Amino acid sequence: MSLKINIPAPLRRYTEGQGFVEVSGDSVGSALASLVEQHPSLKGQLYNDEGRLRAFVNVYLNDEDVRFLSKMETAVKSDDVISIVPSIAGGCC
Amino acid sequence: MLVIRSGEYESLRRHGEETYPFECCGALLGRFQDGNRFVEDAIRCGNTRADRPQDRYNIDPKELLAIQRQADQRGIAIVGFYHSHPDHPAQWSKTDLAEAHWLSCSYVITAVEKGSAASTNSFVLSGNNEEDKMLEPEEITVLSMEETEANVAKD
Q: How confident is the model over A21-39, as a mean pLDDT? A: 97
Choosing among 3.90.1010.20, 3.10.20.30, 1.10.150.120, 3.40.1390.10, the CATH entry for A2-86 is 3.10.20.30
Using an 8 Å CB-CB cutoff, list chain B residues near A88. Answer: 25, 27, 58-59, 64, 81, 99, 101-102
Given an 8 Å threshold on Cβ–Cβ distance, is B78 in contact with A19? no
Residues A54, A46: Cα–Cα separation, whole Å:
6
Using an 8 Å CB-CB cutoff, list chain B residues near A9. Answer: 32, 71, 77-79, 102, 104-105
| pLDDT of res. B107 | 98
Given an 8 Å threshold on Cβ–Cβ distance, is A90 in contact with B105? no
| pLDDT of res. A75 | 97
Size of interface A-B (CB pairs under 8 A): 97
| pLDDT of res. A60 | 98
Chain A: residues touching B (Cβ < 8 Å): 6, 8-10, 13, 19, 44-45, 54, 56, 58, 60, 63, 65, 83, 85-93
Question: In one letter, which amino acid is B44?
Answer: R
Of A52-56, B13-17, B146-150, which range is least confident? B146-150
Q: What is the mean pLDDT of chain B?
A: 95
| pLDDT of res. B112 | 98
Q: Where are the alpha helices (DSSP H) in A41-82?
A: 43-46
Residue B148 has pLDDT above 80, yes or no: no
Size (chain B), residues = 155
Of B30, B37, B38, nearest to B71 by C-alpha is B30
Residues B30, B28: Cα–Cα separation, whole Å:
7
Residues A90, B24: Cα–Cα separation, whole Å:
11
What homologous superfamily does CATH list for B2-147?
Cytidine Deaminase, domain 2 (3.40.140.10)
Strand B116-126: give its sheet, edge to edge: B134-138, B116-126, B106-113, B77-86, B25-33, B36-45, B2-5, B140-143
Q: What is the mean pLDDT of chain A?
A: 96
Residue B147 has pLDDT above 90, yes or no: no
| pLDDT of res. A85 | 97
| pLDDT of res. A20 | 96
| pLDDT of res. B152 | 59
Residue A3 has pLDDT above 70, yes or no: yes
ipTM above 0.95, yes or no: no
Q: How confident is the model over B1-10, as a mean pLDDT? A: 98
Render pLDDT for B82-102 as a digit per residue (tens, 0 to 9): 999 999 999 999 999 999 999
- Please report which confidence band the pLDDT of residue B128 belongs to, taking 50, 70 and 90 as the band edges: very high
- Where in chain B are the domains? 2-147
